[in-house]
Structure 1
Amino acid sequence: MKSESTIDTPSAAGALIRRQRISQGLTQQALADAAGVSRKFLIDLESGHERAELGKAMEVFAALGLSLATATPIPRGSDHDPERRDYAATFADLLANRDFEFAIKMLADYASASLKAGKPLLQRSPQLKDPQWSAALAGITNYTAHRLNQPAPAWTRRIKPLKHPWMPADSYRSVREPMKKLTQSETPNELAALNVFIRERSLATA
């Protein structure tokens, strides 16, 4: 009977990945290419960097033929499936609770899930009371529709550009001027048209 090890820290995950990579005769670059991540990311992951992105880490595990197991049942249903999630209700709840940091992460989740589904998932207006977040969702909806070579849902045309430039990150922290300029220069046109600024790389999960 094989003994089981618990992967409960970033360092443990990194050590396992490194050992498995070496045992398979793979260089860091070869594994990075197979997993679709950068070599720098893999270096950080193998060294136990605590901020390594989980999605990319799972791609590395898959490339090595590894998987994670848990004795606790994994939640199922629309709340845990990005392509079936009710994004209108999700954002309404997050904004009501002023959980702006997680709401920003959900913007990227919405973009990624829409592209994976092959259509913008918000086909109807989310009917948010906050004009800034409405504009952000409209901009991302237009962005995903454009990338999929589809017409944007009609509701996005009813959303007017904000009177002043806005970055969602300003909702919960102070953004320095150099970062603001960089963000503005790297924002997709569909969002900039609504005076909302989010770096396209922040939607990299898409």
Structure 2
Amino acid sequence: MTLGNNIDTPAAAGALIRAQRMNHSLTQQALADTAGVSRKFLIDLEAGHERAELGKTLAVLAALGLSLSPATSMPRGSDYDPDRRDYGATFTDLLAKKDFEFAIKMLADYATASMKAGRPLLQRNPQLNDPQWSAALAGITNYTAHRLDQTAPAWTRRIRPLKEAWMPAESYRRVREPMRRLTQSETPRELAAMNVFIRERSLATA
């Protein structure tokens, strides 16, 4: 077995699936339809979401001394490694493609990767053209810095709060009033200060 070709984490499996889908020029919906799964499930899977049940499966395999090996080489480069991913470029690309649903998953990915790295990974302004997403990233950066008992990067102080309350989920679907109230009540104060509302539990992907 070739070193480095093992699929032993949900993130590794998600990276391979996303890379192969893009190599075949398939949209998430097209692949989901072919596989007979929902697009939401596929989004979670590509994001390395442990609650997609893959994490438990891999844990069982590891306990048996087994791992999954792909028939093709594992994708390489910083785009597939959350600790080295250029999140500024990632969000620029996703917003240009209007892939808002996956962009929301990347917000959680960014928060989780920052916590695992022990510092906010966006140390410089991502310079997005969209004030809403800029505010969301600034809020999450402040949130992770506070949880790590660190000073937030200076760029976050230059991002102004939004004039109106905004939920990223509204980029692609309607949010009903009960969920709106719940989201607002469970949003970390650092995000609420930017007038961006995301439930704290939604920021954890691992």
With the shorter chain as reference, the TM-score category is 0.7 to 0.9
Instruction: Return the TM-score normalized by structure 1.
Output: 0.72
Match of 2:59 in 1: 63
**Deviations 1:50-78 (Å, cap 9, x if unpaired)?**
74954423432343224322212110110
Letter paired with 1:59: G
Aligned-residue CA RMSD in angstroms? 1.7
- Please give the secondary structure, in 2, of the residue aligned with 1:83: coil
Q: Following the alignment from structure 1 to structure 2, what is the Cα–Cα distance between the partners of residues 184 and 146?
A: 19
- Please give the secondary structure, in 1, of the residue aligned with 2:129: coil
Instruction: Return the TM-score normalized by structure 2.
Output: 0.72
Instruction: Point out where structure 1 has 5 or more consecutive residues left out of the alignment.
Output: 1-48
Q: Verify the 8 A CA contact 2:169 2:175 in the aligned structure 1.
A: yes
- Please give the secondary structure, in 2, of the residue aligned with 1:95: helix
Match of 1:131 in 2: 131
Percent of aligned positions with the same letter in both sequences?
74
Q: Following the alignment from structure 2 to structure 1, what is the Cα–Cα distance between the partners of residues 137 and 116?
A: 17
Letter paired with 1:150: Q
Match of 2:183 in 1: 183
**Deviations 1:114-141 (Å, cap 9, x if unpaired)?**
1111100000001111110000000000
Q: Following the alignment from structure 1 to structure 2, what is the Cα–Cα distance between the partners of residues 161 and 200?
A: 19
Counterparts of residues 14-33 of structure 1 (less than 5 Å): none
Match of 2:193 in 1: 193
Q: Verify the 8 A CA contact 1:111 1:140 in the aligned structure 2.
A: yes
Counterparts of residues 62-141 of structure 1 (less than 5 Å): 62-64=58-60, 65=63, 66-141=66-141
Match of 1:146 in 2: 146
Task: Give the 4+ runs in structure 1 shifted more than 2 A.
Answer: 49-59, 61-64, 66-69
Between structure 1 and structure 2, the one with the greater Rg is 1
Greater relative contact order (Cα 8 A, min sep 6): structure 1 or 2? 2
**Deviations 1:126-170 (Å, cap 9, x if unpaired)?**
111111000000000000001111000000011111100000000
Number of residue-to-residue matches in the alignment: 158
Letter paired with 1:82: P
Letter paired with 2:197: F
Match of 2:164 in 1: 164
Q: Verify the 8 A CA contact 1:61 1:67 in the aligned structure 2.
A: no
Letter paired with 1:170: E
Q: Verify the 8 A CA contact 2:143 2:188 in the aligned structure 1.
A: yes
Letter paired with 1:152: A
